[in-house]
A = this chain, B = another copy of it.
């Protein structure tokens, strides 16, 4: 049998028996077959001895059972690793950060506690997926929208805690920021509610975020200070209508005007959907945004001449390419915007955006979408990217497969995703630096990196900053994966040298990334460690998650 480090088989057997006493023996897993399911399906360490493994998994059905499980683990010094549904593929999946931990799988805690289409919120347990909540809302005919990430099978709680993002109005896309109220099981087994949940009889747990005194919810995200067992989320009222439209900019230098337009209209709240940038002129070259474009609009028109021009472009630019675009009316850059609300507001917002863009981008052109009213229908008919109207699905997994237009298919992927400034200069600088890194750094050469060549446009999920997301495929060949890991580590290093830090990273890179947030001798990490020692002195909760280790496992630097 597998055991956690330092725990004898007999002690561990006794612990498993105790866990079974709490959750029932059917919900304690320790066979190799079962534990294989808790590996990270996208692990770059797949097929190697280093691949992170659970020593067992326990699936409690309630917060009370979580409390009991934690108490047992505390008494017996057994490391736990809590997952909601474990679907954060590309960022670590369901495998523990510290190999040998017992996975606490919260999938059975799938109660939808409350959904209001008067106050527009939901309170859910960690096992509730976007699909679950979406279906519930549809069945009850509630007039609220979810904000869903690319694949819809994940957990609202897990996604928010991992700082996941979605595709509707900016107010809702930052899933952690859109949460309101939390229930947490602490390392000592006590249960705590934050915000107004701490006030017995309060009906505003999911309505008022701040509560009284310190706002502590944030410390339970990307961390290991407690096991979250309930969360409230703010939802969007179902809008009367929505519309997706495109601003087109003809020239390379228009990138500046386009980004300034995006910032102005988004921060003023008149273009609430994610500003998805693309370059139809460069589209042949692997811009992931074009995967979505291709999905809806078919492949861009290309001939060999165009392809050669792209290949000759430096930082995405050549005069000849620009001329080709102007001649053939192919815009250098576009941004796709989505509007939500009453029809007349949607129409006015789009009109206003056209005015604003025209003032900032000489020769800007526009493609107006249709004002639509039925999210499900529009999604089914592929009139809109379903996630832009809160309809969960799994189409995103076509990415990486042949259906996604890849000549070589992968078994998984992982995302390098640093935060860069929201400016054209920021985009250009990131392209310059990473393109140069790939040309000059040995481990980066000859590796497939999604989205870097010929030019990468950033992801618009968060307001006010960009994520410069580059991807690596995970394949079956351990040597290739090893090279990919080395390349990823180089990218983290190069990014940090330029002040670009990861917003989230696969488990195996979390130590390295936390190390890059190094202001004042890594005081931030040391502060986290102080808190960790105080609230989980035996260090049983998710050791190592996001680079926070309990004192007995901490490397002395």
Give residues in A with beta carbon < 8 Å to B.
118-121, 163, 169, 171, 174, 176-177, 180, 186, 190-194, 196-204, 207-223, 225, 234, 236-237, 239, 260, 263-264, 267-270, 272, 340-342, 344-345, 347-349, 351-352, 355-356, 419-423, 426, 462, 464-465, 496-505, 513-514, 516-520, 523-525, 527-528, 530-531, 533-535, 546-548
Contacts and interface: CB of A to CB of B under 8 A. Distances in A.
Contacts of A201: 497-499
Q: Which of A191, A210, A217, A500 has the most CB of B within 10 A?
A: A210
B269 A520 contact: no
A462 B239 contact: no
A204 B260 CA distance: 16
How many chain copies does the complex carry? 2
With most chain B CB atoms within 10 A of its CB, the pick from A193, A196, A426, A496 is A196
A268 B534 contact: no
Closest 8 CB pairs of A and B: A215-B218, A201-B499, A534-B534, A348-B348, A342-B352, A202-B499, A214-B223, A198-B517
Nearest to A259: B118
A198 B268 contact: no
Contacts of A208: 419, 462, 464-465, 503
B523 A191 contact: yes
Contact of A269 (B163, B171, B218): B171
A503 B355 CA distance: 42
10 contacts: A191-B523, A198-B517, A200-B496, A204-B420, A204-B422, A213-B524, A213-B525, A218-B219, A269-B272, A533-B534
B192 A237 contact: no
Given A193-B524, A422-B207, A519-B197, A268 B236 contact: yes
Nearest to A184: B527
Contact of A192 (B260, B341, B496, B519): B519
Nearest to A193: B519
Contact of A270 (B180, B341, B535): B341
A290 to B, nearest CB: 25
A346 to B, nearest CB: 9
A119 B199 CA distance: 38
Given A219-B219, A270-B342, A527-B192, A423 B118 contact: yes
A535 B524 contact: no
A210 to B, nearest CB: 5
Contacts of A499: 196, 199-204
B236 A419 contact: no
Contact of A215 (B120, B176, B200, B502): B176
Contacts of A356: 342
Contacts of A234: 267, 464
A21 to B, nearest CB: 23
A530 B188 CA distance: 12
A163 B211 CA distance: 10
Contacts of A462: 208, 210
A547 B496 CA distance: 40
A517 B211 contact: yes
A420 B201 CA distance: 11
A216 B219 contact: yes
B340 A344 contact: no
A113 to B, nearest CB: 15
A169 B239 CA distance: 19
Contacts of A209: 174, 177
A221 B212 contact: no
A212 to B, nearest CB: 5
Which of A208, A221, A520 has the largest number of chain B CB atoms within 10 A? Answer: A208
Given A176-B215, A548-B213, A200 B345 contact: no
A500 B208 CA distance: 11
A535 to B, nearest CB: 6
Nearest to A356: B342
A214 B210 contact: no
A211 B501 contact: yes
B345 A203 contact: no
Contacts of A171: 171, 269
A221 B498 CA distance: 31
B119 A464 contact: yes
Contacts of A219: 214-216, 218-219
A219 B269 CA distance: 28
Contacts of A223: 213-214
A213 B547 contact: yes
A514 B548 CA distance: 30
Contacts of A121: 464
B192 A464 contact: no
Given A213-B222, A496-B199, A546-B213, A118 B260 contact: yes
A271 to B, nearest CB: 10
